Amino acid sequence: MLTLLFSIGILVWTVFLIDGLMGLRKIDSLEAEDSLENGSLLSVIVAARNEENQIRDSIFSQLAQTYRNVEWILVNDRSTDTTGLMMEELKKEDRRISVIHIEELPEGWLGKNNALYQGFLKASGKWLLFTDADVKFEKEAFAKALHYFDRHELDHLTAAPNLSAKKFWLKSFVAFFLFGFSYFKRPWAANNPKSKIGTGIGAFNLISKEAYEEFGTHEKVKMRPDDDLQLGMRMKQAGYRQRIVTALRLIEVEWYGSLREAFVGLEKNTFAGLHYRVSMVFFAIFGVFITNVLPFITIFSSNKIVALLSLGNILLSGIHYVMVIKKMTIFSPAMFLVLPVTALLFIYSIIRASYLTYKRGGIMWRGTLYKLRELRDKE
């Protein structure tokens, strides 16, 4: 049985490796792009709930951009801290900033999705940039992104930021998440105009206003906790021109402050990413264990064939891991050495998120419980 499993594993990893090698080469680095000096109005829409510790630094990094034809719509999504007050203070700092305060959540919407949509309704720009309140930008980020967007005649551009992390195990968890995401979602396929596979990253979703309106706005994904990903995926499926780039030296976000925060944060979208199906949960757990844990155990098997096949799986997955980490992060690829431990942590996060979703009868996000039945209806 193990011989068959690992033989299939080698075949699958070989396919992933070839696909990843070809795909990752097609992901451009935004740092190498020229800057757009003058252009149309860019509307930056920032949705925030209880972000008093992050929002000032984020907005100040945006106000320092070399691209100047920008307006900001800051949306306070029912914050219970001083986020709203800080937004009003930021508005006094720069006349290009406007603020929206949301007091109540309309039925049939997730909070962040509604906040971004409300920001769009007030936007006047040719381009819309949806971003988060904890993202920090280098001064040429907007100018380079807009030049790339314009040069490639795009409808949607998403940029992978540097996901910063301070602690080792959190870094390894972030790296594993990106590694798993790469072969599960194949984000590089967004750069293939013949592919229907698309992607989107919440830290940086740049969209032409015309395409966004024509597509149907956030109303198309209003009950999706993974709205950033779904917006990109569905726009690509609808035939819009899309690309993903890396911006590791231009855009930075501290994804989570600790491993515990990562587990809590993933509660909202882990089950959604598995289409709210128990069968997919078991498939994900089985797949992660078989591919990323078991070979590290069976490599010590007394059965030489099993041991060699285990080694083959480890080597192939290791090459894929190194390729992804070197392209999508600034972390050390040496974290592959703790891959089986990190994989077990990831399995725990899947089990935890799925269990809590069922126990609560839905997902808890931004202080609101969204019923599982409603989420499934909008799947």
88 located within any domain: yes
pLDDT at residue 378 is higher than 70: no
Note whether 213 and 68 are same-domain residues: yes
Note whether 13 and 52 are same-domain residues: no
Domain boundary among the residues 238, 256, 274 is at: 256
pLDDT at residue 377 is higher than 70: no
Closest CA to 90 of 51, 52, 60, 50: 60
CATH code where residue 205 lies: 3.90.550.10
9 located within any domain: yes
pLDDT at residue 189 is higher than 70: yes
pLDDT in tens, 190-207: 999 999 999 999 999 999
From edge to edge, which strands make up the β-sheet containing 242-254?
97-102, 70-77, 42-48, 127-132, 205-208, 156-164, 242-254, 135-137
Note whether 197 and 282 are same-domain residues: no
Note whether 232 and 152 are same-domain residues: yes
Note whether 354 and 229 are same-domain residues: no
Note whether 74 and 32 are same-domain residues: yes
The average confidence (pLDDT) of the chain is 93
| Number of structural domains the chain divides into | 2
290 located within any domain: yes
Note whether 52 and 196 are same-domain residues: yes
Note whether 106 and 223 are same-domain residues: yes
Note whether 12 and 63 are same-domain residues: no
Tell me the residue range of the domain where 6 lies.
Answer: 2-22+263-370
Q: SS3 sequence, 233-291?
A: HHHHHCCCCEEEEEEEEEEEEECCCCHHHHHHHCCCCHHHHCCCCHHHHHHHHHHHHHH
Domain boundary among the residues 229, 256, 283 is at: 256
Mean pLDDT computed over 3-22: 92
Note whether 48 and 189 are same-domain residues: yes
Domain boundary among the residues 227, 256, 285 is at: 256
- For residue 236, the Cα-to-chain-centroid distance in whole angstroms is 16
Contacts of 162 (CB under 8 A, 6+ apart): 247, 248, 249, 251, 252, 253, 329, 330
190 located within any domain: yes
376 located within any domain: no
Note whether 75 and 182 are same-domain residues: yes
Closest CA to 133 of 60, 65, 199: 60
pLDDT at residue 365 is higher than 80: no
375 located within any domain: no
Note whether 277 and 242 are same-domain residues: no
377 located within any domain: no
pLDDT in tens, 103-118: 999 988 999 999 999 9
pLDDT in tens, 77-106: 999 999 999 999 999 999 999 999 999 999
Mean pLDDT computed over 327-347: 93
pLDDT in tens, 247-292: 999 999 988 888 998 888 888 878 777 777 888 889 999 999 999 9
pLDDT at residue 184 is higher than 90: no
167 located within any domain: yes
Quick one: what percent of the chain has pLDDT higher than 90? 78
Closest CA to 263 of 170, 148, 154, 376: 170
